[in-house]
Amino acid sequence: MNIHTKHLLFLTCRPRTVLALADEVTDHLEAQSLVARVLLYGISLKGQEGFIVLEFSAPIPTHLLDHLKADEDILTIVTCLYTPDEEVSQ
């Protein structure tokens, strides 16, 4: 596996809960000392669902996925890998 491979976690939820859920997920990550960042969150125009996209540099822990699956506000969970073409420097 390429050392620059990232792990993405894509969540959907009811539109009215997206902001609270993004905060809750961020708080849970910090409490568990998991390093991740929220890339994007909002409400889709077409489906009118809330969404959150998180990026992890390491594999997504199973216990985190189990925690998210138990959350009634989360409608779907999708995980995938990607390798950025270029690293963005700031």
Q: What confidence tens digit (pLDDT) does each residue in 61-79 have?
A: 999 999 999 999 899 999 9
- Given this model, what pLDDT does residue 65 score? 94
pLDDT in tens, 5-59: 899 999 999 888 899 999 998 998 999 898 899 999 999 988 789 999 999 989 9
Return the residue matching tokens 């960042």.
37
- Given this model, what pLDDT does residue 84 score? 76
Q: Do residues 30 and 22 lie in contact, with contact meaning Cβ atoms separated by under 8 Å? A: no
pLDDT grade for 90, boundaries at 50, 70 and 90: very low
Complete DSSP assignment for 28-81: HHHHTT--EEEEEEEE-TTT--EEEEEEESSPPPHHHHHHHHT-TTEEEEEEEE
- Given this model, what pLDDT does residue 2 score? 52
Residue 89 pLDDT > 50, yes or no?
no
pTM here?
0.83
